[in-house]
Each structure stands twice: as C-alpha cells, then as structure tokens.
Amino acid sequence: MRGIKRGKGSIMDSKSRNATLIVGLTIAGMICAQAETRKEMHFKVGRHATVSITNQFGPISVRPAVGREVVVTAILSSDKVEVDQNQRGSRVDIFSHLLPNADATSGQVSYDVAVPADASIVLHSTDGQLRAEKMRGDVDFEEATGDVDLRDFSGAHVHIKTLDGPVTLTNIQDGYIEITSMGGDVVMNAVSGPMVQVNSVSGKILYDGDFGAGGEYVLTSHTGDIEAQAPAYASIDVFARSVTGPVVNDFTLEPEHTPFAIKAGSAFAGTVNKAASKVKLLSFSGKIHLKKR
Amino acid sequence: MTCEQFQELLPEIGGGNRNIEYETHLRSCQECWGLVSDLNAISRQAPLLQASEEPGPELWNSIESALREEGLIRSSRQQPVLVLKSKPRWNLAWMLPAAASVLIVLGVLNYQGKIHSVSTETAPAITAQSVNTRSPLVASFSAEDQKFLTAIAFRSPTLRAKYERGLRDVNAYIRDAQQSALNDPNDEEAQRYLMSAYDQKAMLYQMALDRFQ
C-alpha cells in the first residue's frame, strides 16, 4: 500500500522540507520587518476637540468625520519609526517618533485623519504634504518644504507657516486667514472672509476671487510678485504700492484721499463699486497687478 | 576637587556660597583662577549694559540655540524658556542680572569645551563643514544668526541650506524695511513692512526650534 512505508528517502525529504520551511519563514519575517505597518487609532472626543499631529516625513490628510470620534490611520513605512499617541479629554496628540538610523524614507508615516468638523487641527511637518478639506474648526499648519492644500472650509481660523512649500487655498468662505511664507508661493482661489492676511518674503501671492463683502485683505511681500484677479462687480477699497517694483491696475478707480502722495507707476489707490472690502497690496520690489477678470 | 567639579559648581558659587574645598582648588589651579577672574570681569561690566541698546529677540533666540547645542536645554515639548513669541515689554533693570547670568554660563561653556572631548571633536567638524558649504554672503550674518545656522547644521543638515537661504532673504527684507521706515517715519505702510519683516524672522527661528524639541 502506498504511503504507509516510509524509508530513508522519505525521511530525507521531510528534513529537506522542514529546512526549506524554516528558511522561508525566516525570510518572510525579515520582509515583514521591513514592510509597511498599518495602525488605526480611535479617540472619543467632545465638542471643539483639538487634534495635534507632528510628522516629520510623510503626508497628512484631514477630512471630516461623522459623530464625535477621531479616527487616525497611520501607515508606517518601516520599523524605524513608531507612532506615539496621547489623549487628555478632548485633546489628542499624535507624534511620529523616529528611531535611530531613520531617514526620510524609512521614517515616513502617512496619516489619514477623520475628525469632527468643528475640531481644531494642529499639524507640524517637515516635507510631507498637508491636506485638509470641509472643516469648520481652527487650523494651524506648520510646514517646512512640503505643500499645503486646504479646500472647502467655512468659518474657520486658518494659520499657516511655511518655509518654501507652496500653499493653495480653494473655496474658503468666512475665513480668518493668516499665512506666513518665506519662499513658497501662495495661491488663493475663491477665498473670502473678515480677515485675509498673507506675508511672503520671496514667494508669489496669487489671489483669484471677489474679495467678499466687509473683509480686510492684506497681501504683503518683499520680492515676490502679487497678482490679484477680481470680477468687475468686486466691491473694494484698494491701496497698492511697490517701493521699487512696478504696479499695474486694470480697474477704473474712484480716487480717494490718502495721507501721502501717490507716486504714479509705484502706487495706486481708490474705490470700486461700493468699496465693501479693504484691500492692501504691498511689496518692496515685486510686481503688483490688480487684474479684472 | 578636580577642575571639572569646580566648574560644575561655579553657578552656585557665583552666588557667594563658597567653601574650603573651593578656595583650596582656586588657590592651587591657575586655569580655574583665570576663569574666575574673567567671569568676575564680566560681572563688573554687566551694569554697563544699562547704557546699551535693548537687545532684540534675535539675541535670546540665538542664546537658546547655543544652550541647546551644548545640551544644557534638553529636548522638551514644553514652550522654550528663552524664546519670545511676542514682543515683550523689557525692563532693563530686570534684564541686567539675567544677562549677567547668561554671560557667566556662556563663559563657563567656553572653558568646558576644552575638557569635554565630544564637544571638542564635534565642533571643529561642524565648523569646517559650515565653512565649506558657506556662501560668500554668510559673512554678513550676525553672530546670533551664525549660531542659529550652526545649530541647524548640527541637528538637521539637510535643512541647513533652506534655512540659510531663508535667513539671508529675511535679513534683506528687514534691511530694506528699516531703510524704508527711516526714509519716512510717518509712513504707516513702511512701519507695516518692518513689522512683517520681523514677523518673518521670528517665524523662521520658531519653526527651527519647534523642529528641535
């Protein structure tokens, strides 16, 4: 009968199979150690919670959640980084902890975060992309070189600091916005609110919107160009000045008294329609252009 | 008492808490005697700070950078002690003993550099690297800015070039804004430029410190 008698050959085959199995398991273990790790964390929070994430390498994406729970999904690229978590009441802190010999590749963690829409978000990153959408709470982003992308916000206080990463804001309504950029370009599409303030050193500032009604918009740069594009129905009280750079205006302005003389070619001031919003475009040597859409 | 033990006790002894061991070592060690003499000279000069201009926030930021580099301030997620987030109203009289203490600590650090071999081995390498990668315009950086860049090079070499470029740009911004404000002191927009320029520099220092906590 087959399969009953086992001779020396069978024993050798068994040993060979065992050896192969052991080697295979060892290799699989090594591969697993290097492979990505997915970690999911859940936090119950109350109203106006604060979620803070510090992640040196890797993107962070924030979206609104249903209910009063914060769900953080972290994908760790290797075992050279770990995710520390801490919750005190409605304050949640997540920190990507780099272990020895971690670098920008092995130390990368990708975060996908779902938070209640009224929660405040604090994100610190070095070169990962920061994205957030459809939020109503305060947003405080600090980014060295990666890009920042916010869209579809309403009634939020937005504070962004960046070294030279580009910043893009799209459809931000009723916002209190403060952006400080060293060299990154700042692009704003359909952004309006009671206060919009952008301070750039060498990055460009590009605004495309109608300046809302009743807000104050101050766009300042040292050497970066400032381009603001608005529709003909925009209602603004505008003052623009470049100390050494050129200024160009496509609108017909009603003249307005200013405390100092307007030097043609370097400055212009006046009102359009009912002058509902105040707009200041200031640069030291960049070009300023107020375009009519 | 060894020289290392003597210098570790210096901040306490500077408050007048001397003992026999301290006095004995001081009389027998020429190097430590020289150190104490120099520190006493610094303390005598401290009142003259009253006549000097109020230091800007950059000074405190650079002092903190130097202390972090030496390891006296450990990594902590708490708010740094010496970093100014907003412009405080400094009372010069209050600042004098604080400034004198900081100068004494810096003087001790300079002498400790001769004993701690790790610092001695590391610092020249960083300095040499900084010199090799420095652009010609770095020579225009203030001492505080150079300490800031050295600290960044030590902690995060890959970001050093970006911070150096940012620092150069923001210093140019401040210079232009200062000139603009001087040209017309009544120009509110020129004042706004200057505030914006200083805000940019404060942001640069703050971002670096946040990274190194």
Domain boundaries, chain B: 53-211
**A193 and A233 fall within a common domain:** yes
Residue B75 has pLDDT above 60, yes or no: no
Q: How many angstroms away from the CA of A150 is the closest CA of chain B?
A: 20
Same structural domain for residues A138 and A189? no
For residues A131 and A196, membership in a common domain is answered with no
Question: Which pLDDT score is estimated for A72?
Answer: 96
From chain B, the residues in CB contact with A85 under 8 A are none
Mean pLDDT of chain B: 69
Contact B180 A284 (CB under 8 A): yes
Percentage of the residues of chain A whose pLDDT score is greater than 90: 73
Mean pLDDT of the B47-64 span: 62
**pLDDT of res. B107:** 54
Least confident of A176-185, A190-199, A215-224, B140-149: B140-149
Give residue B56's pLDDT band: very low, low, confident or very high (50, 70, 90).
low
User: Does A17 reside within a domain?
Assistant: no
Q: How far apart are CA A263 and CA A245, in angstroms?
A: 12
Q: Which residues of B32-46 are buried (b: 16+ CB within 10 A; e: fewer)?
A: beebbeebeeebeeb
Confidence label for A206 from pLDDT (cuts 50, 70 and 90) = very high
pLDDT of residue A36: 83
Residue A215 has pLDDT above 50, yes or no: yes
| DSSP letter for each residue of B179-190 | HHHHH-TT-HHH
Q: What is the total count of domains within chain A?
A: 2
Partner-chain contact A284 B166, CB within 8 Å = no
Domain boundary among A120, A143, A166: A143
Same domain? For A164 and A124 the reply is no
- Looking at per-residue confidence, does A225 or A126 come out higher? A225
- Average pLDDT of the residues in A232-244: 93
Whether residues A126 and A163 share a domain: the answer is no
Instruction: Verify that A101 and A162 share a domain, yes or no.
Output: no
Contact A199 B200 (CB under 8 A): yes
What would you report as the CA-atom Rg of chain A, rounded to the nearest whole angstrom?
A: 27
Q: Which residue has the higher pLDDT, A269 or A263?
A: A269
* % of chain B residues with pLDDT over 70: 51
- The last residue of one of the domains, among A143, A163, A187, is A143
pLDDT of the residue at B158:
79
Q: Taking CA atoms, what residue in A is nearest to B167?
A: A182
Please say which residue of A112, A143, A174 terminates a domain.
A143
Partner B, chain A 132-161, Cβ-Cβ below 8 Å: 142, 144-145, 161
Q: Which residues of A touch B180 (CB under 8 A)?
A: 243, 284
Question: Would the pLDDT of B169 be above 80?
Answer: yes
Which pLDDT band, with edges at 50, 70 and 90, does B161 fall under? confident
Of the listed ranges A162-176, A270-284, B18-32, B140-154, the one predicted with least confidence = B18-32
Task: Annotate B46-94 with DSSP letters as a single string.
Answer: GGGGGGSPPPPHHHHHHHHHHHHHHTSSPP-SSPPSS--SS-----HHH
> 10 Å Cβ neighbour count for B185?
8
Testing the interface with A: which of B164, B196, B213 to mutate, by most A Cβ within 10 A? B196
Shortest CA gap A201–chain B (Å): 7
| Host H or E run for residue A177 | strand A176-181
Give the neighbor-by-neighbor strand order of the sheet with A148-154: A37-44, A69-76, A109-115, A60-64, A130-133, A148-154, A167-173, A186-191, A205-208, A226-230, A288-292, A247-249
User: What order do you get walking across the sheet with A195-200 strand by strand?
Assistant: A81-88, A91-98, A50-55, A120-125, A139-143, A157-162, A176-181, A195-200, A216-221, A277-283, A236-242, A267-272
Q: Which of B16-30, B37-51, B179-193 has the highest mean pLDDT?
A: B179-193
Instruction: Answer whether A183 sits within 8 Å of B207, measured CB to CB.
Output: no
Say yes or no to pLDDT of B78 above 50.
no
Residue A26 lies in a domain: no
- Asked whether residue A263 is assigned to any structural domain, the reply reads yes
Q: What is the pLDDT of residues B100-118, one digit of tens each?
A: 555 555 555 554 544 444 4
Asked if residue A274 belongs to a domain, the reply is yes
For A258-290, b where at least 16 C-beta lie within 10 A, e where not — what string?
A: eeeebeeeebbbbbbeebbbbbbbbbbbbbbbb
Q: Do A155 and A253 belong together in one domain? A: yes
Q: Answer yes or no: is A112 within a domain.
A: yes
What was the pLDDT predicted at A198? 96
B-side interface with A, Cβ within 8 Å?
158-159, 162-163, 165-166, 169-170, 172-173, 176-177, 180, 184, 186-189, 192-193, 196-197, 199-200, 203-204, 206-207, 210-211
Distances (CA, A) of A134 to A70, A78, A156, B140, B146: 15, 31, 10, 46, 42
In the three-class reduction of DSSP (H, G, I as helix; E, B as strand; rest coil), residue B116 is classed as coil
Q: Which residues constitute the domain of residue A44?
A: 35-143
